Structure 1
Amino acid sequence: MNDKTRGYIFALLAVTIFAAQDGFTKFLGDRYPPILVTMFRFWAFAVFVTLLASASSGGVRRVAKTAHPWLQVVRGVLLVSEIVVVVFAFKHAGLAMSQSVFQATPLLVTVLSVPLLGEHVGWRRATAVLVGLVGVLVIINPVGVHFDVFLLLPLGAALLFALYSVATRAVSHKDSAITSTFYAGVVGAIAISVIGPFYWTTIPPADWPALAALCVCGTLSHYCLIRAYGLLTAVEVQPITYLQLVLSAVIAVTFFGEHLSVNMVVGAVTVVGAGLFTVWREHRLAVKRARIAGP
């Protein structure tokens, strides 16, 4: 089995586990405070990244060295905040609806990279972003008689994750992937632990398996995704990640009785299409710049 094949297997495993994680998040988020659910999830994530750092060359001390300490802290806070909003979104807006809107994240990253990273966006990518944002409007149907303000929750989560992604791009020039993952997990766990205990609720033994499954999925999914990105390029991984939308929709309909409306399907297809074009275009431009720069 070559590296590409292994990379695609890890990517598919990551997406599948992420979808299962969404299901367990929805299940627990409907029953317990979203902040509490997020705290348990980040405790497991922090343990995972600490063990990963310990097993790496140089151990935790070497991994913890960063050229952007404050930006790494901001990344951790952004990520844990995004997860909290996602749990609220799953609870109030629905799993399928939330995942449909959340697919706009790559488009928001493109928009934010201009003022925050100084990147240039040509007319092709700008058009794709506009088309994708129209798709988001189709999904949430803001002028419809059934519009719910809770539909803004997944959009807020997408914006937070886009900011996190832009910050990740900014630190990636000097910090390794494992360093960024370490700070995201540890800082996020510390931040949520400050307020999480105020929402403490006793979880009965009947729900312990679901909580354990959420924690396991949260660690395995990130491990598989890290392995996938280590074997494949971003443009090869990104199209596979959109499969999570399909799997989450199946889970939402099968286990939570959610309904897929026509505007959700049409809008989601539009957003995903625009996102795929944006990722492909960024890849083409990166290849072009590499050729101009030469060896």
Structure 2
Amino acid sequence: MSAPVLDAPDTLSRLIPSRVARGFLLAVISGLLFNFLNASAKELAGQLPPLFVSWGRWVAGVSLIAPYLLWRVGPQGMRTRDLKLHCLRGLFHTPGYGLWYEAVAWLPLATMAALGFTGPIFVTVGAVLFLHETVHWRRWAAVGIGFFGMLVIVRPGLVALNPGMLMMLMAVPLIAGSNLVAKVVSGRDKPAVVVLWQSIVGAICFAPFGLWFWQTPTAEQLLLFLASGFFGTLGYFFITWAYRLLDISALQPITFLGIVWAALSDVVIWGKTSDVWTFVGAAIIVGSTTYIAHREARSVAAGAGGKKT
């Protein structure tokens, strides 16, 4: 299966002519939105069964995006061109995020983000093997440097593993598989339609767990569910849009910025402080991300109209 990058004009083209710049900006915005989603989910998972939280998050997402699309494009515009791909994505997405929601109750968001940084390794290899993307040494270097920064934060062998860490390490390759399928389907459906069907499939797949662990949420918890649905829907919308503009392997270094947003959330919301090694690792990661964005933009500018590098 192939996943061509689309260079067609979009609503940001006039404001930001560079396709690379648009892709990176959309990925950064999506990362911020996902951090808000993660904070909402962590707060809920501390009060309710995690698998019930995961189901409620997808139900909230459907309740927000479906009426909007029905109003904007009608039933015809909500149809997908490839339901099989959305279902295939659900096979990765459901166990991956099931494990993720279980892990978020055990770990700080900064640790979740740090462990999630192993994802680009799986995504980059998968993009080469299954999407036939050309990954040059700059992207491999950025992934490698970012991975080293993650090791500085986690310090394996010096910090004891807990169940949350093990669940995250199992979740990451599954989520990477979901992202690879998302890249393919983003070339066939519009971003809003991709997010709609992702939410529908997620709500259906998690329904047995949600009903099994049902607890009547309070008004405050309902607001948190709506917040998770809102931030998650917008986050997936922007990252799907970014997937239409750039190779998925080119976008992966941007995910390393998640450690910054996560560490800030830990301090602001839960009053936790990260040790100095977290910020050392974050500096390494942000440096690698900044470098790859700069080099990618220069490569595309120099070879405009030629093969992507």
Tell me if both proteins adopt one fold, taking TM over 0.5 as the criterion: yes
> In the alignment, does 2:93 pair up with 1:79?
yes
1:61–1:194: structure 2 CA closer, same or farther, 3 Å change rule?
farther
Q: 1:39 aligns with which of 41, 55, 58?
A: 55
**Which residue of 2 is the match for residue 146 of structure 1?**
160
The separation in 2 between residues aligned to 1:84 and 1:75, in whole angstroms, is 14
**Deviation per CA, 1:90-131, whole angstroms, max 9, x where unpaired?**
211211211233245444322221122122323333233233
**Which residue of 1 is the match for residue 4 of structure 2?**
none
1:122–1:242: structure 2 CA closer, same or farther, 3 Å change rule?
closer
Matching residue's letter, 2:174: L
Q: 2:80 aligns with which of 47, 62, 65?
A: 65
Is contact 2:60–2:228 with CA below 8 Å preserved after alignment? no
**How far did residue 267 of structure 1 move?**
2.6
**Which residue of 1 is the match for residue 40 of structure 2?**
24
**How far did residue 164 of structure 1 move?**
1.6
> In the alignment, does 2:71 pair up with 1:55?
yes
1:11–1:274: structure 2 CA closer, same or farther, 3 Å change rule?
closer
Structure 1 residues 107-126: aligned runs within 5 Å: 107-126=121-140
**Which residue of 2 is the match for residue 210 of structure 1?**
224
Structure having the higher helix fraction is: 1
1:263–1:112: structure 2 CA closer, same or farther, 3 Å change rule?
farther
1:185–1:21: structure 2 CA closer, same or farther, 3 Å change rule?
same
1:145–1:38: structure 2 CA closer, same or farther, 3 Å change rule?
closer
Is contact 1:80–1:192 with CA below 8 Å preserved after alignment? yes
**How far did residue 43 of structure 1 move?**
0.4
Q: What is the TM-score with the length of structure 2 in the denominator?
A: 0.75
1:85–1:266: structure 2 CA closer, same or farther, 3 Å change rule?
farther
Unmatched 5+ stretches in structure 2: 1-11
**How far did residue 149 of structure 1 move?**
4.9
**Deviation per CA, 1:28-73, whole angstroms, max 9, x where unpaired?**
111211110111110011123322432344x33343231x332211
Matching residue's letter, 1:195: F
**Which residue of 1 is the match for residue 305 of structure 2?**
291
The separation in 2 between residues aligned to 1:228 and 1:211, in whole angstroms, is 24
The separation in 1 between residues aligned to 2:240 and 2:164, in whole angstroms, is 35
The separation in 2 between residues aligned to 1:277 and 1:170, in whole angstroms, is 27
SS class of match (1:203): coil
- Name the Cα RMSD after superposition: 3.8
**How far did residue 190 of structure 1 move?**
0.8
The separation in 1 between residues aligned to 2:229 and 2:139, in whole angstroms, is 37
**How far did residue 82 of structure 1 move?**
3.5
My pick for the range that moved more, 128-137 or 234-243, is: 234-243
**How far did residue 281 of structure 1 move?**
5.6
Matching residue's letter, 2:75: V
The separation in 1 between residues aligned to 2:42 and 2:279, in whole angstroms, is 20
Residue-pair matches, total: 289
The separation in 2 between residues aligned to 1:264 and 1:78, in whole angstroms, is 30
1:174–1:24: structure 2 CA closer, same or farther, 3 Å change rule?
closer
SS class of match (1:143): coil
Q: 1:174 aligns with which of 174, 178, 188?
A: 188
The separation in 1 between residues aligned to 2:233 and 2:273, in whole angstroms, is 30
**How far did residue 11 of structure 1 move?**
7.6
**How far did residue 187 of structure 1 move?**
0.8
> In the alignment, does 2:116 pair up with 1:102?
yes
**Deviation per CA, 1:193-226, whole angstroms, max 9, x where unpaired?**
1322111123344544433433343345556x37
Is contact 1:103–1:268 with CA below 8 Å preserved after alignment? no
Matching residue's letter, 1:29: A
**Which residue of 1 is the match for residue 9 of structure 2?**
none
Is contact 1:26–1:90 with CA below 8 Å preserved after alignment? yes
**Which residue of 1 is the match for residue 276 of structure 2?**
262
Report sequence identity in percent: 26
Q: What is the TM-score with the length of structure 1 in the denominator?
A: 0.78
**How far did residue 239 of structure 1 move?**
8.2
The separation in 1 between residues aligned to 2:304 and 2:212, in whole angstroms, is 51
